[in-house]
Amino acid sequence: MTKLLIENLSKSFGESQVLNQLSLHVKEAEFVSILGPSGSGKSTLFQLIGGLYSPDSGEIRLDGKRINGKTGSISYTPQSPSLLPWRTVLGNILLGGELVGETDEAAALDMINKAGLKGYENAYPYELSGGMKQRVAFIRSLLSPQSLICLDEPFSALDEFTRLEMQNWLLSVWEEDKRAILLVTHNIEEALYLSDRIIVLSEKPTQVKKEFIVPFPRPRQAALLLSEEFLHWKKKIYNELRVIM
Amino acid sequence: MKIWYKGWRPALVLILLFIIWEVSCRLFEIPKWLLPSPTQILLEGAAGWPNYYRHLTSTIGLAIIGFLIGSSVGIAVAIGLHLIPKLREALYPIIILSQNIPIIVLAPLLVIWFGFGILPKLIVITLVCFFPITVAALDGFRQTSSELMHYMKMAGALKKQIFWKLEWPYALPSIFSGLKISATYSVMGAVISEWLGAKEGIGVYMTLASSSFRTDRVFVAIFLIMVLSLVFFALIVSLERMIVKWKPKGDGKGRD
């Protein structure tokens, strides 16, 4: 079943056309990555899905309902953790649900324990490391009641070790409770390791250039990253992107 | 402990100043009505307590009520101007202009309009108090981190939620800066308003003292005003410490 359906989406800011007749979809319980060169309108696409702007033309549908220009339909994790500094870890995690009127403290505490943040429930963000903050931001969006999770380069500010650890953690959480995830990234390895399907975007005005279905079985292990097949795929996508860049 | 460690330098300067003052008064035999020495002021301060204590309590009461009204008005105006940008455009210059009217000129006019009651006094204190808070709060609201704003909008926060869950707490440290300034101003405002005509208050005590050449009492009044302002300031600082707990300790710039 299709969770998110985007059809012929176009958007211009003044003179420059950012999106041109872009179409894509995300199925129920599917992990889709959007890969594109920087400045390819990835952020604009997210802002349209998030409802911050309305598209010039085209449709955005979530569960069949039109959500053009409507905020609050998705759960969102930004590039930086964006935690409210005056809220504790627990308070921040509850925020996502609070905004739409549903909070579940027991689930939040349970998730905090599972994420290895036990004992930090009442800590303020300034007391946490970068990886921990990002983990809190993930939990916040995982516990938001919306059914589609949009991740906007959430690993890009982390160091290599923390990143792999966080990716594995995210996969393990996601495999327990499969929800539709749309991830924007510029990291090929990350897209391959995490997703079921990869959508490569063109330069501006942005369209879908190519789509790859990732064949690796789940659950995935870190060892996959060094396998022959993985490298082969990485090369294939890299070549696709190189034409653009 | 830290305050003693840090505070010894200014304390030393103050003590030196008092010593020079005392010695000069004695050496040059300056008459008491012209410039009393610190010991004379201290003695009057101790002996005159029954004379001025009701003046003191009256001023404290007036300053507190005025400060509460002034800061509420200040915060309310800031919220209004922030939430309605058109109102801000229209009113912001007028608010700045309101601060350019000399209070000392305005005060007698207020008496003509509103009589000798408490109302003109509260208006003076409110006028003095609301401005620093309004400006500080408006700045605080406008400086709200764009990153957090982006998240809140993407997560579907309504305008009301954005204000109460993001902009308001984000502006709290700025609002407290405004409150600190206003708290000290409120004492000044109370004293000025008492000059207009009141039955009691430090302002009255001061006027009576200076017209009867009791310069020592004028100085007692000055010190009372200074101590009162400091106490008000300290109260706001401790209130801020209680409410703004999310900043790293011992570091003023924990807001990023």
pLDDT at B57 over 90: yes
Query: Which pLDDT score, from 0 to 100, does residue A163 have?
Result: 87
Q: What is the rounded radius of gyration, in angstroms, for the C-alpha atoms of chain B?
A: 22
**Residue A153: CA count within 13 A, CB half-sphere:** 15
Residues of A in contact with B245 (CB under 8 A): 86, 124
Say yes or no for a CB contact (<8 Å) between B148 and A84: yes
In the block, residue with structure tokens 């109370």: B190
**What's B25's DSSP letter?**
H
Residues of A in contact with B153 (CB under 8 A): 50, 52, 71
Q: What is the rounded radius of gyration, in angstroms, for the C-alpha atoms of chain A?
A: 18
Percentage of chain B modeled with pLDDT above 70: 95
pLDDT at A54 over 60: yes
Query: Which pLDDT score, from 0 to 100, does residue B252 have?
Result: 43
Which of B151, B154, B248 lies closest to A126 in CB terms? B248
pLDDT at B255 over 50: no
Is B136 domain-assigned? yes
Query: Which pLDDT score, from 0 to 100, does residue B4 have?
Result: 63
Query: Which pLDDT score, from 0 to 100, does residue A57 have?
Result: 87
Query: Which pLDDT score, from 0 to 100, does residue B251 have?
Result: 45
pTM of the shown model? 0.83
Average of per-residue pLDDT values in chain A: 86
CATH number (domain holding residue B79): 1.10.3720.10
Report the DSSP beta bridge partners of residue A6.
A24, A60
* Digit-coded pLDDT (tens) for B84-129: 989 988 998 888 888 888 888 888 888 889 888 889 999 999 998 9
For β-strands A57-62 and A2-13, DSSP reports them as: antiparallel
pLDDT band at residue A15 under the 50/70/90 scheme: confident
Is B220 domain-assigned? yes
For residue B36, whether the previous peptide bond is cis, meaning omega lies within 30 degrees of 0, is no
* Domain of B207, in residue numbers: 51-243
Q: Is the minimum CB–CB distance between B253 and chain A shorter than 8 Å?
A: no
Tell me how close the Cα of A49 comes to any Cα of chain B, in angstroms: 9
Token couple for B162: 């954005």
Is B8 domain-assigned? no
Max CA-CA distance within chain B? Answer: 76
Average of per-residue pLDDT values in chain B: 88
pLDDT at B256 over 60: no
pLDDT at A216 over 80: yes
Under DSSP, is residue A30 helix (H, G, I), strand (E, B) or coil? coil
Query: Which pLDDT score, from 0 to 100, does residue B2 have?
Result: 60
pLDDT band at residue B1 under the 50/70/90 scheme: low
Interface probe with B: pick from A83, A88, A99, A153, most Cβ of B within 10 Å: A99
pLDDT at A245 over 60: no
**Distance in Å from the first CA to the final CA of chain B:** 29
Q: Which long-range contacts (CB under 8 A, 24 or more apart) does B113-121 make?
A: B116/B196, B116/B197, B116/B198, B118/B62, B120/B193, B120/B196, B121/B62, B121/B66, B121/B190, B121/B193, B121/B194, B121/B196, B121/B198
Closest CA to A155 of A127, A181, A129, A185: A185
Is B36 domain-assigned? no
CA pair distance B11, B34, nearest whole angstrom: 26
Is B59 domain-assigned? yes
pLDDT band at residue B3 under the 50/70/90 scheme: low
* Digit-coded pLDDT (tens) for A70-108: 888 888 888 888 999 999 999 999 998 888 887 888 888
Query: Which pLDDT score, from 0 to 100, does residue B74 have?
Result: 94
Q: Is the minimum CB–CB distance between B151 and chain A shorter than 8 Å?
A: yes
pLDDT at B6 over 80: no
Query: Which pLDDT score, from 0 to 100, does residue A172 have?
Result: 87
Is B83 domain-assigned? yes
Say yes or no for a CB contact (<8 Å) between B147 and A84: no
Is B67 domain-assigned? yes
* pLDDT, mean of residues A12-34: 88
Say yes or no for a CB contact (<8 Å) between B154 and A50: yes
Which one is predicted more confidently, B31 or B256? B31
What order of strands is seen across the sheet that includes strand A148-152?
A75-77, A148-152, A180-185, A31-35, A197-201, A208-213
Q: Which residues contact B23 (CB under 8 A, 6 or more apart)?
A: none
Q: Which residues contact B234 (CB under 8 A, 6 or more apart)?
A: none
* Digit-coded pLDDT (tens) for A154-192: 888 888 888 888 888 888 888 888 889 999 988 888 899
CA pair distance B67, B179, nearest whole angstrom: 9
CA pair distance B192, A172, nearest whole angstrom: 69
Query: Which pLDDT score, from 0 to 100, does residue B149 have?
Result: 92
Q: In what helix (H) or strand (E) does residue A200 lie, and over which residues does it extend?
A: strand A197-201
Q: Is the minimum CB–CB distance between B244 and chain A shorter than 8 Å?
A: yes
Query: Which pLDDT score, from 0 to 100, does residue A84 have?
Result: 92
pLDDT at B62 over 60: yes
Which one is predicted more confidently, A2 or B5? A2
The number of folded domains in chain B is 1
* pLDDT, mean of residues B13-22: 93
pLDDT at B151 over 70: yes
pLDDT at B254 over 60: no
CA A132 from chain centre, in angstroms, equals 18
Q: Is the minimum CB–CB distance between A95 and chain B shorter than 8 Å?
A: yes
- What's phi and psi for A180, nearest 5 deg? -70, 130
Query: Which pLDDT score, from 0 to 100, does residue B253 have?
Result: 43
**Between A and B, how many residue pairs show a Cβ–Cβ distance under 8 A?**
66
Which of A47, A51, A84 lies closest to B166 in CB terms? A84
Is B119 domain-assigned? yes
